Structure 1
């Protein structure tokens, strides 16, 4: 599971940062999922190593322009290129009407199936490998965060040990790989878990933007391997953050701390903290790390490979006093 940040600015693009979009690449199934699709996202994809032909799902948090203005252009380009099989889009009520209006007035018709799913809190997508949970955030309009959960997998099957035990290959190997208990023809009872390595714990990613600090974000981020959280404002500008229902760096860090998250990656930064200003982005990073040390600051085209954890591994939680 590889995360690529395609846009890390809030509200408007800058020379160095485009508006919101995050890509999740699932190489084991040759799929690409997008979370938000701000204006210019398709250009960002072209400038990256991602393959738009693998695009299969798009998850939208809310209907503000810096999160959806790139959606219609991306879908139209995919249709003209003819290299996308189907796209499922998940988002708030009104998203389908928005796309229908764009299609009607621009006379755009897709050459591939596009299905829009109106989401509500709970599971919005699930298959044999993944589930995606939606949760309510606290913003000026209806806004949702998403939690992507990879299901646990049985550890690596030890073929050499099975041969040493003279277990005949075939259907039995499949049963043992799944951790089942099998009775052999000679009467021996073999527990499949004894032949498999440690269970591979499914990875968890939380994506929370736009929102002020809220319980919904903490719930989505619980025990996550990585939390992607907006940090529009510096702590000094917390009054503005509460007025606009956006997060400060300290709110993002407190969310990660309260949720026992393993790593926090902040995004969605206000252009007001450009180099040369009184407060710069480097100062925002220091603020967050004072509360949650395992914090990084995203930039456009930054990639992050989500690591696996073994069953015996636990997350390290750093205690810190609440500072806002």
Structure 2
């Protein structure tokens, strides 16, 4: 699993940071990409990455502020132009469907694929054989949600030599055992998958939070998460502004991760008011609470491998 940030600024674009969007690359797991938020010019940012719009099959929107949604109509149109013909599911707060459909209708934008809309509330918004995605409301100035993405346990490694010793021939039967299925040999012997595979491996958990004040739901979504993506619009010295605008500081984010028992914290959604030296201070302050803290910039990419987060 990879996470790539397409926009890490707050409110409006700057010369160094575009507005909010990130790609959760699940190419190795399920061959697709999930997008979280789609601020203005997200498709321009994508041009500088390996992300292919036709591979995006799910878009999760945290809230309806412009810096999180104004890039949607353009991206939806370009996905069609670029050969994307598979259905797309868009998750988000009430009003998102009406806004998208009115924009596409007014601009006479034709899509070559169907869109399914899921109006987000509190609870599970997606569950399939690989993932569970849970949404919870956060505390912003408009309805806003955070998402918890949990990968279901992975099948254990097949003990090939043990299976062969039990009489399983090389070939398709080994594949069936690896995939969790029991097999019957020619002599009628049943070999159980559980007897020739290691224990299932824990999947990853990522919390991607929208704009919010420090709140309990942010902690719940982040509980024991491997990675927490949390806004850091303000710093500790401007905490009075953070609360009034429905945002968080770097220390708010760090305390959410600490109280949730999270392993890694990615500070995102930074105000343009801060200079590079300010940002370095923000990072160091948060690292005193959560040592595995990273402060992200546009196009940063992280890889989760062997239960460890690496910046690549």
TM-score over 0.5 for the pair: yes
1:285 match: 283
Correspondence list, 1:48-63, <5 A:
48-63=49-64
Decide whether aligned partners of structure 1 residues 175 and 74 sit closer, same or farther in structure 2, where only a CA change above 3 A counts: closer
| Aligned residues: CA RMSD | 2.2
Q: C-alpha distance in 2, partners of 1:135/1:308?
A: 29
Specify which of 304, 307, 311 is matched with residue 306 of structure 1: 304
Structure 1 residues 153-173: Cα deviation after superposition (integer angstroms, max 9, x where no partner):
121101122112334567864
2:243 match: 242
Q: Check the 8 A contact 2:183/2:190 in 1, yes or no.
A: yes
Q: Check the 8 A contact 2:9/2:271 in 1, yes or no.
A: yes
1:184 deviates by 7.2
Q: C-alpha distance in 1, partners of 2:109/2:176?
A: 50
Correspondence list, 1:94-243, <5 A:
94-168=95-169, 173=174, 176-177=177-178, 192-243=193-244
SS at the partner of 2:39? coil
Q: TM-score, normalised by structure 2?
A: 0.91
Correspondence list, 1:25-44, <5 A:
25-28=25-28, 29-44=30-45
Q: C-alpha distance in 2, partners of 1:176/1:271?
A: 54
Q: Check the 8 A contact 1:59/1:89 in 2, yes or no.
A: yes
Q: C-alpha distance in 1, partners of 2:186/2:96?
A: 59
Q: Check the 8 A contact 2:125/2:133 in 1, yes or no.
A: yes
Structure 2 residue runs of 5 or longer lacking an equivalent are: none
Structure 1 residues 181-233: Cα deviation after superposition (integer angstroms, max 9, x where no partner):
77878898865334223421111111012001111111111111110110110
Counterpart check, 1:12 vs 2:12: yes
Structure 1 residue runs of 5 or longer lacking an equivalent are: 311-324
1:127 deviates by 1.3
Q: C-alpha distance in 2, partners of 1:80/1:63?
A: 25
1:176 deviates by 4.1
Greater mean alpha carbon deviation, residues 97-106 or residues 179-188? 179-188
Decide whether aligned partners of structure 1 residues 112 and 167 sit closer, same or farther in structure 2, where only a CA change above 3 A counts: closer
Q: Check the 8 A contact 1:202/1:308 in 2, yes or no.
A: no
What is the count of residue pairs matched by the alignment? 307
Q: Check the 8 A contact 2:166/2:191 in 1, yes or no.
A: no
Q: C-alpha distance in 2, partners of 1:283/1:179?
A: 49
Q: TM-score, normalised by structure 1?
A: 0.88
1:111 deviates by 1.9
